[in-house]
Amino acid sequence: MKKEKTEKADTDTEGFVIIEHPADTGISLTAESLEKAFEIAAEGMFSIICSIKKVKPQKQIRMRISSSPEMGVEGLLVAWLEKLIYLHEIKKMLFSKFDVAIKENKSKKIKLSANVYGEKIKPSFHELYLAVKAPTYHKLSLKKDFANKGRWTGMVIFDV
Amino acid sequence: MADYKIKRLSEYKWEIEKDTTKGMRVPGIIYADDILFEHARSENTIDQVVNVAGLPGIINASYAMPDIHFGYGFPIGGVAAFGIEDGVISPGGVGFDISCGVRLLRTNIEASSIKNKLEDIMYKLNGAIPKGVGSKGRIKLSKHEMHKLFTGGVPWAIKSGYGWEEDSVCIEENGCMEGANPDYVSREACERGNDQVGSLGSGNHFLELQKVSKIYDGRAADVMGLYEGQLTVMIHSGSRGLGHQVCGDYLKVMQQTPFWRNASIADRQLACAPLNSSEGKRYFGAMVCAVNYAMVNRHCLAHWVRLAFESIFGSSAKKLDMSLVYDVSHNIAKIETHRINGADCKVCVHRKGATRAFGPESAGIPEVYKDIGQPVIIPGDMGRYSFIMTGTQRAMQESFGSTCHGAGRILSRTQAKKQIDGSELQKQLLKDKGIVVLAQSLSGLAEEAPAAYKDVSKVVEVAHNAGLSKKVVMLEPLGVIKG
């Protein structure tokens, strides 16, 4: 079961929590797989933007991004969230469901392909909270935590 | 917080002594009183001042203005200048909201005369101003027009029918910063920006009707055309999705260079490149496009406000003397000439949550303000006050012509939402202070509550007493539109 917007970080349960930042806001997350970590991060970000439970996964968009070895999975996570903000702004859509696949090729380039699902923004219905300007690299982390049953744990601070 | 050697240089100035073991190339200088300094220390913001002090080519010091608080990469309130030949430029030293800034319009309307129709006026203004999450402006620009905007700035907007001919004089860089190169702005950035010109955005962006409530410097207030009891309009917005994308694009570019791989800088948000490198030049060219976009954005918002006032008051905006007092950015990197060790030197000054505060007779400020110094606009919170100040010669000598930019938060957004009810706040501000607040989101409103911010007068007092900028007038909010 996913845990949303609780105040206490919980690394045993798959999901995200909103974390405190003096000026901005962020999420910490726990996931059973790398792909799931990306899906949960996206859910966390759209939970900052709107009431995500009200967003119907009516329309599907297919997307692909990649990240160089020096940017790593953390860089790919930022690129993924940036791409979702871009789609949100230019298509005037909110997203609530994310199916992510990630592959690494021989040259260590990491490729992400995803189907994202959502609908057009209806301001009065979706309870818009706050625009997320961007995910930042500040305190950014995403790693497999061998001390925690090999789960993926991470943190993203957003500029809002 | 790491163990730093901290020296108090004066009542309002602290030095974090240079410590090469922490990678510092220069000391840190923080302008604060005891309370503001303790706040910065408790948030670990001093670590961020120290991180900036380690960037290559930094000159004199890593500065923090009196509204210093914890950001990402640079601290908010951070100022750093870098040598043109050996220094760097950092997208994180400007921030995602490139050229986020503030604009003040005056009027010849007595604030007391609108008391009974304030609510009506606010609803009409609310209808005239695009705002909120995912909002778009009233203008949709083609790629060709976007490029014209990038290189032409506010003068282009004026030629296109928005605003008055004389407006550009009272905007930093006359509304058009030199060095824009549209080829360095990504397709994604253009797409995000092409329908957002003239929109407020969300978060801490706002439009306020205000009253001049106190005059501190009568001569400077006269020059700005400000007097007690006068109605003014303040607009706070930035470069919207376009600027956010430019920053993100170049943070990625800069982290993939040999320079960055060898730089050994802890925070990836401080990614940077030499100013004279291809990556540095490309970021600068794109950033200037975003700066010009932000200035046009505020200009178009002001245009809608003037049109709304014409409709509300049945008189032309010219007759209502809705002149622009000034428009200034507080997230920017600029090539400026400053006096260093007795010689005039060109440097790249980064201001992240800090305002240019050029003193009297400085180059680059409007002729009308040459005697008093450049107007500095310091927005406060929606329940108390904002301030207009002027730049000083002391700021030119001490802080690369920079001062504070606002209050700075004391409650995180989560804490604010937990403690404050947006709907109750709206009612309370109306009941207790007569302030009409219109917001797109009540939870967003709670996050921006007065209690979530420091008292801006304390910050302004420190900037004034430290000599970085001088108080001119206090403005109190009458009506607030939050994005």
Per-residue pLDDT tens digits for B18-58: 998 889 999 999 999 999 999 999 888 999 999 999 999 99
Task: pLDDT band for A10, please (50, 70, 90 cuts).
Answer: low
Q: How far does the CA of residue A49 sit from the closest CA of chain B (Å)?
A: 8
Task: pLDDT band for A148, please (50, 70, 90 cuts).
Answer: confident
Q: Are A41 and A19 in contact (CB under 8 A)?
A: no
pLDDT of residue B222: 98
pLDDT of residue A11: 62
For the domain covering B6-410+453-482, report its CATH number.
Answer: 3.90.1860.10
Is residue B160 within 8 angstroms of chain A, CB to CB?
no
What angle, 0 to 180 degrees and rounded to 10, lies between the N-to-C axes of helices B143-159 and B278-313? 50
Please name the residues in contact with A147: beta carbons below 8 A apart, sequence gap of 6 or more.
none
Nearest to A44 by CA among A8, A93, A96: A96
Task: pLDDT band for A105, please (50, 70, 90 cuts).
Answer: confident
Nearest to A21 by CA among B182, B391, B447: B447
**Cα–Cα distance between B196 and B474 in angstroms, integer?**
31
> Has residue A118 got a pLDDT over 80?
yes
Q: How far does the CA of residue B370 sit from the closest CA of chain A (Å)?
A: 35
Residues 113-132 of A with CB under 8 A from B: 121, 123, 127-131
> How many CB atoms are located within 10 Å of the residue A72 CB?
16
Dihedral sign from CA coordinates of B302, B307, B311, B317: positive
Q: Hey, what domains does chain A have and what are their CATH numbers?
A: 33-159 (3.55.10.10)
Is residue B213 within 8 angstroms of chain A, CB to CB?
no
Nearest to B302 by CA among B473, B162, B450: B162
Q: Are B238 and B383 in contact (CB under 8 A)?
A: no
> How many CB atoms are located within 10 Å of the residue B307 CB?
12
Q: How far does the CA of residue A130 sit from the closest CA of chain B (Å)?
A: 6
Tell me the residue type at B244. H
Please name the residues in contact with B309: beta carbons below 8 A apart, sequence gap of 6 or more.
B107, B317, B320, B322
Residues 95-124 of B with CB under 8 A from A: 95-97
Task: pLDDT band for B413, please (50, 70, 90 cuts).
Answer: confident
> Has residue A2 got a pLDDT over 50?
no
Torsions phi, psi for B196 (to 5 deg)? -110, 5
**Cα–Cα distance between B122 and B380 in angstroms, integer?**
19
Residues 55-114 of A with CB under 8 A from B: 68, 70-71, 75, 78-79, 82, 85-86, 88-90, 92
The answer to whether B244 contacts A121, with C-beta atoms less than 8 Å apart, is no
Mean pLDDT of B399-426: 93
The answer to whether A159 contacts B409, with C-beta atoms less than 8 Å apart, is no
**Cα–Cα distance between B1 and B361 in angstroms, integer?**
42
Strands A25-31 and B331-340: unpaired
Structure tokens, B109: 């309307």
The answer to whether A70 contacts B134, with C-beta atoms less than 8 Å apart, is no
Strands A134-135 and B28-31: unpaired
Residues 266-285 of B with CB under 8 A from A: 267-269, 271
pLDDT of residue A20: 80
Task: pLDDT band for B347, please (50, 70, 90 cuts).
Answer: very high
Please name the residues in contact with B427: beta carbons below 8 A apart, sequence gap of 6 or more.
none
Contacts of A89 in chain B (CB under 8 A): 134, 192, 196, 241
* String of DSSP letters for B274-289: ETTSHHHHHHHHHHHH
pLDDT of residue A23: 75
Interface size, chain A vs chain B, as Cβ–Cβ contacts under 8 Å: 128
Contacts of B203 in chain A (CB under 8 A): 130-131, 133, 160
Torsion of CA B249, B72, B69, B482, to 10 degrees: 50
**Cα–Cα distance between A112 and B15 in angstroms, integer?**
47
Structure tokens, B295: 């200035």
Beta strands (DSSP E) in B206-342 are 206-215, 230-237, 273-274, 324-329, 331-340
pLDDT of residue A4: 43
Beta bridge partner(s), residue B387: B378, B474
Q: How far does the CA of residue B404 sit from the closest CA of chain A (Å)?
A: 16
Structure tokens, A72: 């790593």
> Has residue A116 got a pLDDT over 70?
yes
Q: What are the residue boundaries of the structural domains of chain B, listed by start?
A: 6-410+453-482
Q: How far does the CA of residue A66 sit from the closest CA of chain B (Å)?
A: 12
pLDDT of residue B93: 97
Contacts of B100 in chain A (CB under 8 A): none
Q: Which H or E element spans position B192?
A: helix B187-193
Furthest C-alpha separation in chain B: 66
Which tens digits make up the pLDDT trace of B124-169?
999 999 887 777 778 899 999 999 999 999 999 999 999 999 999 9
Q: Are B304 and B129 in contact (CB under 8 A)?
A: yes
Using the structure block, give the residue that is written with the tokens 């540095």. B280
The answer to whether B245 contacts A23, with C-beta atoms less than 8 Å apart, is no
How far is the first Cα of chain B from the last one, in angstroms, to the nearest whole number? 35
DSSP B380: -
Strands B58-72 and B28-31: parallel
Is residue B192 within 8 angstroms of chain A, CB to CB?
yes
Q: Which H or E element spans position A113?
A: strand A110-120
Is residue B70 within 8 angstroms of chain A, CB to CB?
yes
pLDDT of residue A5: 41
> Has residue A75 got a pLDDT over 80?
yes
Closest in B133, B414, B441 to A20, CB measured: B414
Catalytic residue list of B:
405
pLDDT of residue A6: 40
Q: Are B288 and B178 in contact (CB under 8 A)?
A: yes
Task: pLDDT band for B394, please (50, 70, 90 cuts).
Answer: very high
Beta strands (DSSP E) in B268-394 are 273-274, 324-329, 331-340, 343-352, 355-356, 375-378, 386-391
Contacts of A91 in chain B (CB under 8 A): none
pLDDT of residue A1: 35
> Has residue A145 got a pLDDT over 50?
yes
> Has residue A17 got a pLDDT over 70?
yes
Task: pLDDT band for B441, please (50, 70, 90 cuts).
Answer: confident
Average pLDDT of the residues of chain B: 95
